[in-house]
Amino acid sequence: MVSYKELGLVNSREIFTKAFEGGYAIPAFNFNNMEQMQAIIQACVEAKSPVILQISSGARKYANQTILRYLAQGAVEYAKELGCNIPIVLHLDHGDTFELCKSCIEYGFSSVMIDGSHLPYDENVALTKRVVEYAHQHDVTVEGELGVLAGVEDDVSSEHSHYTRPEEVEDFVKKTGVDSLAISIGTSHGANKFKPEQCTRDANGVLLPPPLRFDILEEIEKRIPGFPIVLHGSSSVPQNLVTTINKYGGAIKDAVGIPEEQLRKAAKSAVCKVNIDSDGRLAMTAAIREVMNNKPAEFDPRKYLGPARESLKELYIHKCKNVLGSDNKA
């Protein structure tokens, strides 16, 4: 058993309180490898932003949990070396069993998500409560979820979303003791968040997604005032990245994300954590494809992973400063 406190990590409690009071949201960026971790830390140090480093169970399988734990520990030291001791949370994204959450807590995670959103309500309550009881013994914070997002949630995928039912949130929070709640108000995982037929088009033929259901968010805020809300599936799918990918041989079609101004609005509300993974994948892929196309003789991985890391860093700084408002809050 390693305590996250020994690793220099923090749980999400205090940073969420400050985010709520300050009207901004903390970025939760997924990582699977060293370059992604470095880009996140470089960006958040430069922006002076607190950050949540997220690991999915897919990431755990890909990179090995011990290695990821040491990368997170390295992230803390790296931030100090870069000159700013920003608050860093190490969070399990979409945990699906009690055993997985327990294992992560024993490995030094400071926060876990137990995603029982696909279960019948009472089973979601029971599973989430069990995780909270264990996590709180170790001062680890827990995120639960009510409502289902469309798209892929790690191993759980759902073609149709159903919005969070505001009438359930108070009971869920009270019965489970969770520290934050992920809700479904129209965001969705992946780079193809909406089918073209769900969208309208502007004068230039650009797809415009259906707006988020801020009415549901407001109803939830009324029922659990001051409680930290989480938005998953919050990539904006920048069209310049999609264009670059496709220009250099990619085949990404009808990719559309959540408009930044809607995320800005959400960040000012009770939404304290915003999950972004796909935009980072697009930034990395665009940069790598560009190098591969322009320098076909190149075969040193540093020559394409380096530009990918730089592009990721720019993206993350932009998210902190211009979308979530988390800059200068560390």
Kindly report the backbone phi and psi dihedral angles of residue 189, in degrees, each rounded to the nearest multiple of 5, phi listed first.
-80, 155
Task: State which residue, 147 or 288, has the beta carbon closest to Zn ion.
Answer: 147
Q: Which does 58 bind (CB under 5 to 8 A by kind): ligand 13P, ligand G3H, Zn ion, none?
A: ligand G3H
CB of 272 to ligand 13P, least distance (A): 15
Task: State which residue, 277 or 327, has the beta carbon closest to Zn ion.
Answer: 277
Nearest to 154 by CA among 181, 114, 125, 186: 114
Which residue from 87, 190, 209, 238 is in contact with ligand 13P, where contact means CB under 6 A?
190
In the residue annotation, 93 being an active-site residue is answered as yes
Count the neighbouring beta carbons within 10 Å of the beta carbon of residue 240: 10
Q: Which does 59 bind (CB under 5 to 8 A by kind): ligand 13P, ligand G3H, Zn ion, none?
A: ligand G3H
Contact code string over 226-245 relative to ligand 13P, x by CB under 6 A: ------xxxx----------
Which residues from 209-248 bind ligand G3H, rule CB under 6 A? none
Residue 275 engages ligand 13P in binding (rule: CB under 6 A): yes
Which residues from 266-285 bind ligand G3H, rule CB under 6 A? 277
Residue 147 engages ligand 13P in binding (rule: CB under 6 A): no
Whole-angstrom distance, CA of residue 140 vs CA of residue 12: 8
Q: Could you give the count of Cα atoms lying within 13 Å of 294 in the half-sphere of its Cβ?
A: 12
Count the neighbouring beta carbons within 10 Å of the beta carbon of residue 118: 14
Q: Could you give the count of Cα atoms lying within 13 Å of 247 in the half-sphere of its Cβ?
A: 13
- 220, two tokens: 């939830």
CB of 257 to ligand 13P, least distance (A): 7
Whole-angstrom distance, CA of residue 34 vs CA of residue 309: 9
Which residue from 110, 278, 285, 326 is in contact with ligand 13P, where contact means CB under 6 A?
278
Task: State which residue, 56 or 73, has the beta carbon closest to ligand G3H.
Answer: 56
Nearest to 228 by CA among 270, 187, 168, 264: 270
Q: How many residues bind ligand 13P, per CB under 6 A?
A: 14
Residue 189 engages ligand G3H in binding (rule: CB under 6 A): yes
Using CB atoms within 10 Å of the CB of residue 63, give its burial: 0 to 12 exposed, 13 to 18 middle, 19+ buried. Answer: middle
Nearest to 280 by CA among 46, 89, 28, 50: 28
CB of 151 to ligand G3H, least distance (A): 8
Which residues from 26-65 bind ligand G3H, rule CB under 6 A? 30, 56, 58-59
Taking CA atoms, 210 is separated from 14, 66, 259, 291, 308, in Å, by 33, 41, 10, 35, 31
| Residues making contact with Zn ion (CB under 5 A) | 232
Binding site for ligand 13P (CB under 6 A): 30, 93-94, 189-190, 232-235, 275-279
Catalytic residue positions, numbered: 93
